[in-house]
């Protein structure tokens, strides 16, 4: 949920922002000529055409999915551990998408 930088733009990736991006994608699919103003996570605005909306959405989706993959990896590692010392040795801070 920390956000990403996509093509130099700071893009929010929290759940509310993901929902808004989905709405923008639907709009772009319904009207491929649509051009929208999109608020970046730093408060600035950019103009996005339908293709750019789709590109931002795909970047956000990839970022969120990478986080889920990492969470699943860590969960599997921790569940496979047989003792608390081994669990404590797992570095839960490493390997997350940036």
User: CA–CA distance from 31 to each of 25, 35, 54, 60, 69 (Å)?
Assistant: 10, 9, 12, 21, 33
Per residue in 10-37, pLDDT (tens digit) is 999 999 999 999 999 999 999 999 999 9
- Strand 45-49 relative to strand 35-39: parallel, antiparallel, unpaired? antiparallel
pLDDT single digits (tens) 47-83: 999 999 999 999 999 999 999 999 999 999 999 988 8
Name the H helices within 1-98: 15-30, 50-80, 84-88
**Mean per-residue pLDDT for 83-98?**
87
pTM, 2 dp: 0.85
pLDDT of residue 28: 95
State the Cα–Cα distance between residues 44 and 9, nearest whole angstrom.
Answer: 9
CB neighbour list of residue 5: distance below 8 Å, 6 or more residues apart: 11
Model pLDDT, residue 1 = 76
């Amino acid at each position: 949920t920390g956000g990403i930088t996509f093509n130099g733009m700071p893009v929010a990736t929290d759940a509310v922002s993901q929902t808004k991006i989905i709405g923008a994608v639907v709009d772009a699919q319904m009207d491929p000529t649509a051009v929208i103003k999109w608020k970046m996570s730093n408060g600035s605005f950019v103009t996005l055409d339908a293709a750019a909306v789709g590109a931002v959405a795909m970047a956000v989706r990839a970022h969120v999915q990478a986080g889920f993959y990492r969470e699943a990896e860590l969960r599997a590692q921790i569940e496979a551990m047989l003792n608390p010392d081994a669990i404590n040795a797992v570095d839960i801070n490493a390997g997350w998408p940036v």
